[in-house]
């Protein structure tokens, strides 16, 4: 059996870090992932996917990534089921990161050189 997902996209916001009561660190991130095909209007749609990052990976992403950085996430899907009032049930899927690769520098904008200042 296999439960694996690979996503490549840009962070939509800086990682949101939480320390749980038991001392474990968890980060919540969201990736904007462009679909590889155009819709009926000729545009590429984008999916916004929430990802949970635990412990050491959470520390790393807190240090090295911020909004706009392109990353690749290898992870797994996890299903949560909730019982709601009136005998209704809600099922939710969550992506849990197992490996993160950084595909762009978090300081890319800092490297831009102003054309006028370089000509003087």
Q: What is the DSSP string of 26-84?
A: EEEEEEEEEEEEE-TTS-EEEEEEEEEEEHHHHHHHHHH--TT-EEEEEEEEEEEEEEE
> Per-residue pLDDT tens for 78-99?
999 988 888 888 899 999 999 9
Spatial separation of the C-alpha atoms in residues 77 and 84, rounded to whole Å: 22
Q: What band does 103 get if pLDDT is binned at 50, 70 and 90?
A: very high
- Checking DSSP bridges between strand 88-102 and strand 44-54, what pairing results, if any? parallel
Spatial separation of the C-alpha atoms in residues 76 and 98, rounded to whole Å: 7
Per-residue model confidence (pLDDT) at position 106:
63
Per-residue model confidence (pLDDT) at position 86:
85
The domains of the chain, with CATH numbers, are 5-111 (2.40.50.140)
> Per-residue pLDDT tens for 31-56?
999 999 999 999 999 999 999 999 99
> Per-residue pLDDT tens for 10-30?
999 999 999 999 999 999 999
Per-residue model confidence (pLDDT) at position 72:
96
Per-residue model confidence (pLDDT) at position 113:
38
């Amino acid at each position: 059996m296999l439960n694996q997902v690979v996503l490549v996209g840009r962070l939509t916001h800086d990682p949101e870090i939480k320390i749980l009561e038991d001392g474990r660190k968890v980060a919540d991130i969201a990736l904007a992932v462009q679909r590889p095909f155009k819709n009926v209007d000729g545009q590429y749609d984008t999916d916004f996917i929430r990802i949970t990052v635990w412990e050491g990976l959470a520390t790393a992403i807190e240090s090295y990534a911020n909004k706009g950085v392109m990353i690749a996430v290898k992870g797994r899907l996890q299903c949560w089921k909730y019982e709601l009032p009136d005998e209704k049930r809600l099922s939710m899927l969550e992506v849990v990161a197992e490996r993160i690769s950084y595909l762009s520098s978090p300081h890319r904008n800092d490297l831009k050189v102003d054309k006028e200042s370089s000509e003087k």
